[in-house]
A and B are shown apart, each in its own frame.
Chain A
Amino acid sequence: MIELRGIHKAFGANKVLRGVDLTVPKGKSMVIIGGSGTGKSVTLKCVLGLVKPDAGEILVNGQDVTKADRDAFLASFGMLFQGGALFDSLSVWQNVAFRLLRGSQKRPKDEARAIAIEKLRRVGLKSSVADLFPAELSGGMQKRVGLARAIAADPDIIFFDEPTTGLDPIMAGVINELIREIVVEMGATAMTITHDMSSVRAIADDVAMLHDGVIKWSGPVSRLDNSGDPYLDQFIHGRAEGPIEAVR
């Protein structure tokens, strides 16, 4: 279970988060939607401890993340970065198996490689890409390698920052299904950021909409279409007119 309470974060004069309250129950899939630049990525980074909130409290399984043993805490996490963030000095399979090649989850090299290739297959990549370098892949392929790396060590909590952006519709479908599978079969807790409304419907148990630095609306995905919230309605139907200004 992940709980955010009153999270504030400003970069200089830019007040990005202004009191975010959000609860993600264990084993559920939460999707965060919201306009570009509203602080969705920053929210995930706060939970991971990569960005330090100015105020507020973040609890994971009841424990304050700022006080937990960071390495042990992060060992149960997987994160897909918006930009992939692959290590360009390492080959694709070494990227995917990064966690399995060092530290507390270290295992023999060929075993790690076999797991990496299996994870690559799950994100729709052939084993022939395993020995390429990230720079030799297309943007969408890099994204999927990032996804494979995030799930490589079977984490309990997974964050996906725009997992389907830049993918073709078929591949996006494959990835949506994969995320769903990870939550349902492996019982993982997931937080996903996406702009793709079909992804939202495919992945989410619950949806939260971030706007103006706060969670404007949150609820089960079944209530998405009859929420009665003008902000949410404008967002999911992609209308230019409404309470959300188009220029931000």
Chain B
Amino acid sequence: MLIDTVAGIGRSTLRLLAEIGRATLFFLRALAAMFSPPFYFREFGHALLTIGYFSLPVVGMTAVFTGAALAIQVYAGGSRFQAESVVPSIVAIGMTRELGPVLGGLMVAARVTSSIAAEIGTMKVTEQLDALVTLSTNPMRYLTAPRVLAATITMPVLVGLGDIIGIFGGYLVGTERLGFNRAAYLKNTVDFLETWDVTSGMIKGAVFGCLIALVGCYYGMHSNRGAQGVGRATKTAVVMASVFILASNYILTELFFTG
């Protein structure tokens, strides 16, 4: 009984370690593929479009409603200390440092990780990945590298745009519902916001973007056979990407804002 339990723990530990090893190897191979020829520019352009451009509406929607809700909460919280005037700066800092990259990242993960995992998973189970290899094309270079590169480049841009839209959402609620003066709100935002607030969020965005595409590709390429295999790969990819985003966000925040 005890032996069984211990053996079970041992087995899952070994499986976990093997998985971590495989994933790390995958990451290194993706890096190598990203920085050495041949490069597939068409695939890269296509990935920029589908990952970056078409994610704009999702990121924009997320940002505007988050900024608006944040303004109301900060106002309510601030009024307990007669400090309602902090709304513009807290909204700006909250959006740029945390909510913009994290919520944007999670939304893009839902959209992009799932579609990458499902697409590559289907290619795997229909032998399209094998066909690529026989046509002297490395799937890591042809499929993974362009997607990871595109996601890493476009996520910071999306985060930057999300920041602006989110601050605008806070501004709308602040001026229309909470009675802030328009000029004063804007001045307050600009005066208190530091460059590092924005760049730190964008760096987070780049890391999340890399994770989003990488995780999607990894689970797609390791998908099991059949429709069920692809379904499971897609689900796992989205869950893992989200967990990785939240965990790496904590680590990056520790690195950036403590000590």
Binding site for B on A (CB under 8 A): 45, 48-50, 71, 74-75, 77-79, 81-83, 85-89, 98-99, 102-104, 149
Given A85-B126, A102-B38, A103-B38, the answer on whether A79 and B131 have CB atoms closer than 8 Å is yes
Residue of B nearest to A146 (CB): B131
For A103, what are the chain B residues with a Cβ–Cβ distance below 8 Å?
Answer: 38, 136-137
Q: Which 4 A-B pairs give the minimum distances between C-beta atoms?
A: A85-B131, A85-B127, A79-B134, A74-B136
Binary CB contact string for chain B from 109 to 138 against chain A (1 if under 8 A, 0 otherwise): 000000000010001001110111111111
| Bound form: Cα–Cα A49–B126 in Å | 17
Please, how many angstroms separate the alpha-carbon atoms of A99 and B128 in the complex?
14
Report if B40 contacts A (CB, 8 A): yes
Q: Contact between A81 and B130 (Cβ–Cβ < 8 Å)?
A: yes
Bound CA–CA A89/B130 (angstroms): 16
Pick from A45, A49, A89, A98: contact of B135, CB under 8 Å: A98
B131 A81 Cβ-Cβ under 8 A: yes
Given A99-B135, A102-B137, A104-B136, decide whether A50 and B130 contact each other with a Cβ distance below 8 A: yes
Given known contacts A81-B127, A85-B127, A85-B128, A74 and B38 CB-to-CB distance under 8 angstroms: no
Measured in the bound complex, the distance between the Cα atoms of B137 and A49 in whole Å is 14
Tell me whether A48 and B134 are in contact in the complex, defined as CB-CB below 8 angstroms, given that A83-B126, A103-B38 are known contacts. yes
Closest to B131 in A: A85
Asked if B40 and A45 make an inter-chain contact with CB atoms under 8 angstroms apart, the answer reads no
For residue A98, which residues in chain B have a CB less than 8 angstroms away from its CB? 135, 137
Give the chain A neighbours of B127 by CB distance below 8 A.
Answer: 81-83, 85
Contacts of B135 in A (CB 8 A): 74, 98-99, 149
Query: Which chain A residues border B130 with CB–CB below 8 Å?
Result: 45, 48, 50, 81, 85
CB distance from B11 to the nearest CB of A (A): 16
Q: A83-B126, A85-B126 are in contact. Are A99 and B136 (CB under 8 A)?
A: yes
A93 to chain B, nearest CB (A): 15
Question: Which chain B residues border A45 with CB–CB below 8 Å?
Answer: 130
Q: With both chains docked as a complex, state the minimum distance between the C-beta of A151 and any C-beta of chain B, in angstroms.
A: 12
Contact with A along B124-158 (1 / 0, CB 8 A): 00111011111111100000000000000000000
Within 8 A of A (CB), among B196-253: none
Chain B residue with Cβ nearest A78: B134
Bound-state CA distance A74–B131 (Å) is 11
- Least Cβ–Cβ distance between B127 and chain A, in angstroms: 4
Tell whether, in the assembled complex, residue A50 and residue B137 are in contact, meaning their CB atoms are under 8 Å apart. no
A74-B136, A81-B131, A102-B38 known, 15 other contacts, Cβ within 8 Å: A48-B133, A50-B130, A71-B138, A74-B133, A75-B136, A79-B134, A81-B130, A85-B128, A86-B128, A87-B128, A87-B131, A98-B135, A99-B135, A99-B136, A103-B137
Residue of A nearest to B138 (CB): A71
Question: Residue on A with the closest CB to B133?
Answer: A50
Closest Cβ–Cβ distance, residue B41 to chain A (whole Å): 10
Return chain B residues, CB-CB under 8 Å to A86.
Answer: 128, 131
Q: Once the chains are docked, how many angstroms separate the CA of A86 from the CA of B132?
A: 10
Residue of B nearest to A72 (CB): B136
Kindly state the separation between the CA atoms of A210 and B134 in the bound complex, as whole angstroms.
24
User: Which partner residue on chain B sits nearest A75 by CB separation?
Assistant: B136
Q: How far is the CA of A89 from the CA of B146 in the complex (A)?
A: 15
Docked Cα-Cα span, A49 to B119, in Å, equals 23
Most buried by A among B40, B119, B123, B130: B130
Residues on B with beta carbons closer than 8 Å to the beta carbon of A81: 127, 130-131
**Chain B residues near A88 (CB, 8 Å)?**
128
A98 to B132, CA, bound (A): 9
Residues on B with C-beta less than 8 A from A85 are: 126-128, 130-131
Residues of A within 8 A of B134 (CB): 48, 50, 74, 77-79
The 6 sampled A-B contact pairs (Cβ below 8 Å) are A48-B130, A50-B133, A85-B128, A87-B123, A87-B132, A149-B135
Chain A residues with Cβ under 8 A from B119's Cβ?
A: 89
Q: Report the bound CA distance from A82 to B127 in whole Å.
A: 9
- Digit string of B11-51 for contact with A (CB within 8 Å is 1, else 0)? 00000000000000000000000000010100000000000
